[in-house]
Structure 1
């Protein structure tokens, strides 16, 4: 596997404890005194998903990625009520409080369900106070089943298309080991037709690692998603990014969100790319994040609504060895 699609060793690992006690695995990369970027991954993924982007940012940014509950090394909720947009917001708030000191800010970037997480947390004071700018990549705020195009739009029955897409989300069927068939299905569903074998292998490795019951539980949340009201409360400057061939969250969502945001910071449409934009074109995602950092974090020393200067979040800790800390 080529280097961009290998895991990046974390400088530091820690655990953030969410409101209901769920333990969230967090990893930090790059210099401790760099401007902070928080990365929130999507459905069926993990911190590994962000490796191609982390590798590009970590030379001069403090990059923080975490596993959503029930994904990667984060704990799964023991209560069925532990799945939903409210607890996603709880988890993000816990991570921010653990890694961004009060009075400092970071750029938040969320892909797919990670973007939905940021939307869900948008109205919380502890989140707003720590957010300089936002990137919502390959995501949507509501009505996902109406627009999903895994089953082609030429299928005339709207009911059939919604039924198929709902079953795709909520299925508890184990994926088993990675096979040529499963890779072909993932390439068709979430990548672009020209995705490289390395990109397909990397995607399959990540998605197959997600346990079926957690995949299904979160799929049920996505099937009824409605975050339009929360989107309107994302008051930080917010950039939108989408692949024009995204079948899971087509660009109709991106355009709608860009029109509804209080402080839009640009819409980037990547020609021919699918849903996994940080894997398919890491430099494009890196570029938007760097632009947000430059415009709203490192250069954001002007007085804000809080009455004080915006400071880039940093933790002045040794960078030579990973450490385990309970937050």
Structure 2
């Protein structure tokens, strides 16, 4: 059964009302909640959210882009209003199936979109590298706060010097089925430490806490096991569409080394943006900066009536140094 989020943020973090909602049916019969925002005929952008999040995560990005873009959102299986999968329904193959179905069933014939994946959403795009739906429907891709392998080994959530102990503790925390419980001052502080930069304000923290705490613990643990064993390095090398990478310099879950490794492996890397002081939730922490990167990809590679504005092959924002 689908669910509506138990708590909704206010102001710019409140999910905008969709122009329309629909159910997308994936290859194994799983039903995915999807939403359309913005005017018909505008350049298309497809947004895939990350682990423990939902379409609500994209609210500030939608507000930045919906006036002149057609935006497709969907809840990954088990998240938001997409029902949990059955046995065997949690895998990178399932993520790729779901994205392929969304592209096939929400875009018009011949329409291409800039496809953006945050965290597990970026892993979804990598997993779908060989899918014809992505090759044919993606004008360009943005991989945001994500990595292709060794996520637990490279994580910096637990401040322990010994790598073996740090990895063991991080894996236990990541894959825990313990309930998160209600949002409290302590849980907000912990979530901010793990997922955001030090300058994230109370409204940003509250919005993210509401979304993350709404994810069912069984779903959270099931996807954590997939993420913990992730190895999509080979798939990155097959992601042949123009692909940009974005990362926060204070990201503890997917540190900068992931972004730089992706840039090295991608066949057509068209830019790396490092957002100084931002954590893992960059699209919520600085929606203007992230939407600016998306706009640049649309202007350069998207369907905008033949007008294609030139943008640099590599962009840096907020004082980040060249890698």
TM-score (structure 2 length as normaliser): 0.91
Q: How does 1:225-240 map to 2 (within 5 A)?
A: 225-240=230-245
Q: How does 1:120-135 map to 2 (within 5 A)?
A: 120-135=127-142
Deviations 1:27-72 (A, max 9, x none): 0100011111000000000000000000000000000110000000
Aligned residue pairs: how many? 299
Q: Could you tell me how far apart the structure 2 residues matched to 1:120 and 1:102 are?
A: 23
Q: How does 1:1-327 map to 2 (within 5 A)?
A: 3-79=11-87, 81-152=88-159, 155-298=160-303
Residue in structure 2 matched with residue 322 of structure 1 by the alignment: none
Stretches of structure 1 that go unaligned for 5 or more consecutive residues are: 303-327
Greater relative contact order structure (CA < 8 Å, 6+ sep): 1
Stretches of structure 2 that go unaligned for 5 or more consecutive residues are: 1-8, 308-323
Q: Could you tell me how far apart the structure 1 residues matched to 2:162 and 2:257 are?
A: 20
Q: Is the 8 A contact 2:119 2:145 kept in 1?
A: yes
Q: Is the 8 A contact 2:26 2:32 kept in 1?
A: yes
Q: Could you tell me how far apart the structure 1 residues matched to 2:241 and 2:138 are?
A: 7
- How much does 1:156 deviate? 2.3
Q: Could you tell me how far apart the structure 2 residues matched to 1:301 and 1:121 are?
A: 28
- How much does 1:101 deviate? 2.8
Secondary structure, counterpart of 1:104 in structure 2: coil
Q: Is the 8 A contact 1:70 1:77 kept in 2?
A: yes
Q: Could you tell me how far apart the structure 2 residues matched to 1:146 and 1:163 are?
A: 9
- How much does 1:6 deviate? 1.0
- How much does 1:102 deviate? 3.4
Deviations 1:186-224 (A, max 9, x none): 010001111100001001000000000000000000000
Residue in structure 2 matched with residue 306 of structure 1 by the alignment: none
Q: Could you tell me how far apart the structure 1 residues matched to 2:124 and 2:271 are?
A: 20
Q: Is the 8 A contact 2:43 2:304 kept in 1?
A: no
Secondary structure, counterpart of 1:255 in structure 2: helix
TM-score (structure 1 length as normaliser): 0.90
**Runs of 4+ displaced beyond 6 Å:** none
Q: Could you tell me how far apart the structure 2 residues matched to 1:172 and 1:93 are?
A: 29
Kindly report the root-mean-square deviation, in angstroms, between the aligned alpha carbons of the 2 structures.
1.2
Deviations 1:135-182 (A, max 9, x none): 000000001111100012xx2211111011111211000111101110
